[in-house]
Amino acid sequence: MAETIANGRADQCANNIDGPTNPMVTPILTDLYQFTMAYAYWKAGKHNERAVFDLYFRRNPFGGEYTIFAGLEECIKFIANFKFTEDEIAFIRSSLPPSCEDGFFEYLRELDCSDIEIYAVTEGSVVFPKVPLMRIEGPIAVVQLLETPFVNLINYASLVTTNAARHRFVAGRSKILLEFGLRRAQGPDGGISASKYCYMGGFDATRRITVFLCFDSNVAAGKLFGIPLRGTHSHAFVSSFLSPDEIIEKSLQHRDGSSVCEDFVSLVQTWLNKLKWSHLLGGIFSETNQSELAAFTSYALAFPGSFLALVDTYDVMRSGIPNFCAVALALNDLGYKSVGIRLDSGDLAYQSCEARKFFRAIEKEFGLPGFGKMNITASNDLNEETLDALNKQGHEVDAFGIGTHLVTCYAQAALGVVFKLVEINNQPRIKLSEDVSKVSIPCKKRCYRLYGKEGYALVDIMTGENEPQPKVGERILCRHPFSESKRAYVVPQHVEELLKCFWPGNSDKTREDLPPLKEIRERCIEQLDKMRPDHMRRLNPTPYKVSVSAKLYDFIHFLWLNEAPVGELQ
């Protein structure tokens, strides 16, 4: 069914922006109340009133003090192709009371987003609570229809990108980070978009092309976004073999084509015996598991140029590592360099150190430069805490494969993105709440990031639309939006306007291009570098300051008093 919808839509929409990655993202991927409201607006003749909504979140996730904004491209792709099909209109009609008038469905039939304007922070930027990530302007009924899909598309995207960035921060720049999460993701789409956004947040890919790694990566995501893929094998592959006897095709050509080894299986066996009786290594193991040895040998025969083995199916030190080394040494005889091993259980710090010792001993014993630097990848329920613990303990892991905790954002599974009306017909609006953190900041606003002398971002400030822009070198008062006593003067050394026009609608603004994924990723890394380290640290980070201008502060509190009913104590 989703196919039909997507096709119908493609015929109707002529523009050069593709639809959303997931064809299920259509104008009816929304809450029904958006349609009941649209009907009520239409019925009241109010549907074309010009509204301004802010999309923002209220608290940084994961106990941290920063968030990465992601998902914008999907939102723009969504509105660029926003059009109801006849099927959808029929369904909406059947979901509303029969008394709803035909004219409304005529109205829906003609609807598109040509009259919408979208201003947004650039995707991949570091962002903070309360400051709008997107400002959406347009006829109120249409903007309201965008609420649910936009919030859905931004919420998880920003959350998982932030999660990836946090994992990168703990792991450090020099480690390779691999996203392993497709099978644990919340649905297929969760898996596909996780691959995209983890890459955006600093997970590895092309930059490490020289190291061929066991990236058990999501193939569909690779196809869609051009994210590099790496593959190895699973435990099942290992246990599907019984013994080396079952290997029939045993020959392997030398890498340079100069000769053929007719019995690679025996060559591996010879090396295994050498290892077993070697002075330096002897005694660590006796009999290795034969099913594992057969699996490694077979895998090497299939991929002699990129041999990488999962070594923990039976016993890492007594079977997996010796078996791997025997195969790698046999491959070395034929001119092939092996990639390394993957550890997927047990004490990763200890095992990686022991494996490294073993590799180095072989390098020394057999005079094989580089063997000691064999790549060690670790996986198994890794998260920020375990990475941190591994770092403190000391380890020899070169690459981490992170799955469940990364893609499901296990530590905090949702970001509270909201979409609030801030102005209608040029009248500022406020949403009150007994909980101050839930009061919205009214008015169509401009948002700036002010940078200090050392190049770090100091504070974000929101002003009314027509207030003058903060100027470099000029003192400006930054006020906490809700706390009277919290305020500070700032003399910015650099001022960055945060909201840019990504969808000009009928205005004469220029549309910002949607940058390619790699560029967004680079922006994200750059932006994180510009943050003061105390905002970034894992434990007790300093909150980044978010403020409003003095004028906006006064206006917020005027409007608040105006709208809130006066209580009567009895």
Pairing, β 487-490 against β 117-120: unpaired
193 belongs to the binding site for a copy of itself (CB under 8 A): yes
Angle of helix 140-171 relative to helix 72-80, nearest 10 degrees, comes to 150
**Residue 170: alpha-carbon gap to chain centroid:** 16
Q: Which is nearer to a copy of itself, 403 or 470 (CB)?
A: 403
Q: Which is nearer to a copy of itself, 24 or 550 (CB)?
A: 24
33 belongs to the binding site for a copy of itself (CB under 8 A): yes
Q: Are 458 and 450 in contact (CB under 8 A)?
A: yes
Backbone dihedral region of 230: left (phi > 0), alpha (psi from -120 to 50 degrees) or beta? beta
Please list the residues that pair with 462 across neighbouring strands: 447, 548
Q: Which is nearer to a copy of itself, 209 or 413 (CB)?
A: 413
339 belongs to the binding site for a copy of itself (CB under 8 A): no
Q: Are 530 and 455 in contact (CB under 8 A)?
A: yes
The residue within the footprint of a copy of itself, chosen from 83, 166, 420, 523 (CB under 8 A), is 420
Cα distance between residue 185 and residue 183, in whole Å: 6
426 belongs to the binding site for a copy of itself (CB under 8 A): no
21 belongs to the binding site for a copy of itself (CB under 8 A): yes
155 belongs to the binding site for a copy of itself (CB under 8 A): yes
Query: Minimum distance from CB of 173 to a copy of itself (Å)?
Result: 25
Q: Among 371-379, 406-414, 488-496, 536-544, which window interacts with a copy of itself (CB under 8 A)? A: 406-414
Q: Residue 333, SS3?
A: helix
CB count in 10 Å sphere of residue 196: 27
298 belongs to the binding site for a copy of itself (CB under 8 A): yes
244 belongs to the binding site for a copy of itself (CB under 8 A): no
Give backbone dihedrals phi and psi of 497, rounded to 5 degrees, phi first.
-80, 130
The residue within the footprint of a copy of itself, chosen from 67, 81, 144, 527 (CB under 8 A), is 144
The residue within the footprint of a copy of itself, chosen from 158, 161, 288, 377 (CB under 8 A), is 288
Closest to 419 in 3D by CA, of 406, 431, 436, 401? 431
* Contact partners, residue 248, CB within 8 Å, separation at least 6: none
Q: Among 225-233, 266-274, 462-470, 534-542, which window interacts with a copy of itself (CB under 8 A)? A: 225-233
The residue within the footprint of a copy of itself, chosen from 274, 360, 431, 532 (CB under 8 A), is 431
Q: Among 457-465, 493-501, 523-531, 557-565, which window interacts with a copy of itself (CB under 8 A)? A: 557-565
Please give the residues from 71 up to 90 whose contact with a copy of itself meets the rule CB under 8 A: 88
Q: Among 31-39, 465-473, 506-514, 520-528, which window interacts with a copy of itself (CB under 8 A)? A: 31-39
Q: Which is nearer to a copy of itself, 314 or 366 (CB)?
A: 314
Please give the residues from 454 up to 513 whose contact with a copy of itself meets the rule CB under 8 A: none
Cα distance between residue 202 and residue 521, in whole Å: 7
The residue within the footprint of a copy of itself, chosen from 163, 217, 386, 527 (CB under 8 A), is 217
Query: Minimum distance from CB of 323 to a copy of itself (Å)?
Result: 11
**Both structure tokens of 87:** 């099927």
* Contact partners, residue 65, CB within 8 Å, separation at least 6: 128, 535, 536, 541, 542, 543, 544
Question: Which single residue is written with the structure tokens 């932006």?
Answer: 527
137 belongs to the binding site for a copy of itself (CB under 8 A): no
The residue within the footprint of a copy of itself, chosen from 103, 172, 305, 543 (CB under 8 A), is 305
Q: Among 37-45, 163-171, 461-469, 507-515, which window interacts with a copy of itself (CB under 8 A)? A: 37-45
Q: Residue 312, SS3?
A: coil
Q: Which is nearer to a copy of itself, 508 or 568 (CB)?
A: 568
Cα distance between residue 101 and residue 483, in whole Å: 48
**Both structure tokens of 334:** 């034929």
The residue within the footprint of a copy of itself, chosen from 66, 128, 271, 299 (CB under 8 A), is 299
Question: Which single residue is written with the structure tokens 């119908």?
Answer: 8
Question: Which single residue is written with the structure tokens 């209608």?
Answer: 424
Cα distance between residue 315 and residue 535, in whole Å: 43
Q: Among 36-44, 362-370, 494-502, 549-557, which window interacts with a copy of itself (CB under 8 A)? A: 36-44
Please list the residues that pair with 448 across neighbouring strands: 461, 497
Binding flags for a copy of itself, 91-130, as an x/- string (CB under 8 A): xx--xxx-x-------------------------------
44 belongs to the binding site for a copy of itself (CB under 8 A): yes
Closest to 238 in 3D by CA, of 311, 338, 328, 344? 311
Q: Among 1-9, 161-169, 354-362, 530-538, which window interacts with a copy of itself (CB under 8 A)? A: 1-9
For a copy of itself (CB under 8 A), the number of binding residues is 142
Question: Which single residue is written with the structure tokens 């200890």?
Answer: 350
Please give the residues from 342 up to 401 whose contact with a copy of itself meets the rule CB under 8 A: 345-346
Q: Residue 108, SS3?
A: helix
Please give the residues from 247 up to 276 whose contact with a copy of itself meets the rule CB under 8 A: 247-249
232 belongs to the binding site for a copy of itself (CB under 8 A): yes
209 belongs to the binding site for a copy of itself (CB under 8 A): no
CA angle 362, 368, 372 (to 5 degrees): 55
28 belongs to the binding site for a copy of itself (CB under 8 A): yes
Cα distance between residue 92 and residue 106, in whole Å: 12
Q: Are 407 and 160 in contact (CB under 8 A)?
A: yes
Query: Minimum distance from CB of 8 to a copy of itself (Å)?
Result: 11
Q: Are 85 and 6 in contact (CB under 8 A)?
A: no
Query: Minimum distance from CB of 32 to a copy of itself (Å)?
Result: 4
